[in-house]
Amino acid sequence: MDRIYLDHNATTPVDPEVVDAMLPYLAARFGNASSVHGFGRDAKVALEQGREQIAAIINCEPAELYFTSGGTESDNIAVLGSAYQCKGKKSHLVVGATEHHAVLEPAEHLAHREGFKVDLLPVDGDGFSSTDDLRRLVSDQTVLVSVMHANNETGTVQDVAALAEVTREKGVLFHTDAVQSTGKIKVDVKQLGVDLLSLTGHKIYGPKGTGALFIRKGLKIAPLFYGGSHEKKRRPGTENIAGVVGLAKTLEIAERCREADFTRLQELADYFTDKVMTNIPDVHLNGPRRNRIPQTVNLSFAGIEGESIVLSLDIEGIACSAGSACTSGATEPSHVLVAMGKPKVRSQGAIRFSMGRSTTREQLDHVISKLGPVVTRLRQLSPIYGKQA
């Protein structure tokens, strides 16, 4: 069997339709959108058409959408820009305990270098945060609350609308990292009630290096970069026209396929989870069965390290992950699973299998046939299996 890719939460192949849409802007239609001549005007039209298309999909005004290089930059602008805008007036942030490092590390920077206080919003055993906990943490000093929409490791989908309602009552800004949810489940900024929202293209068959940040109309955010009037000076730098065109086409396709993809991937995820847990002993599902992006299956295999499973499966031509791609090679257990209260040994034995449009039941059967012997062999070598769970 050909190599099997089960790491779609890390990145995805670019859809051929997206490639076709981008190609003209990588060749003949190469103009700079800031130029006033015909080449520039052509690029400017493509830029604004892309903005209008994406804005319509997430239900915001085109003027509220700013293009970036991806989710990490969008998250940094949202967190740091909000804090710097209010520096000297307010000095407190609340971020989810299971956030991506693109949110956690800017928050840590503000705490260590800028004198801000940062509180982590706790989660339960399935990764959900409560409005009661948020109410206890928010104060008159709080600048921003940032809670991700869908978790990249477990797929847990937060009730962002309920959490954002708490911040609206308190007059506090709310940001959500929707990198893993946009294009996979419905994302509507008005229904969610958020002030800022980050998204990217490469998780949903779009090009890497493309993303956007929704900033609610009237909201002031301090820029992180200087040097041009692009994107209303909130993200200066020559716009990636081919990337914007590709991102718009990506979201158009994702919206068209979203419901069918959701149903099919949920069926595959349920099938895979049940088969693995039936055929291999001492396996635990991390995160909920429902209220998650369905293609994400996070399983812990007692007594062995996840990295060993990943490397063993890679030899068999199967790609998966021991957690977030952004922390690959880390020796510490997943901060997401630790925040969910999972024991360290269970967290270290966690594997994320993330499926996509190319995933088939036959592929999953093949993965299971290889996974069982791999787990058995590694457990035979393990000094802790049978002693800890």
Contact criterion met (CB below 8 Å) for 210 and 244: yes
Residue 126: is it exposed, middle or buried by C-beta count within 10 angstroms (0-12/13-18/19+)?
middle
Active-site residue, from 60, 86, 320, 326: 326
326 assigned to active site: yes
Helix and strand element counts for the chain (H, E): 12, 12
Instruction: Return the structure tokens found at 99.
Output: 């956030």
Closest CA to 217 of 189, 192, 240: 189
Of 131, 124, 123, give the one whose Cα is nearest residue 169: 131
Query: Is the C-alpha dihedral spanning 58, 64, 70, 76 positive or negative?
Result: negative
- DSSP state letters, 142-164: EEEEE--SB-TTT-BB--HHHHH
In 3-state terms the chain splits into helix, strand, coil percentages (rounded to 5) of 45, 15, 40
Neighbours of 178 (CB within 10 A): 26
Q: Which residues are catalytic?
A: 326
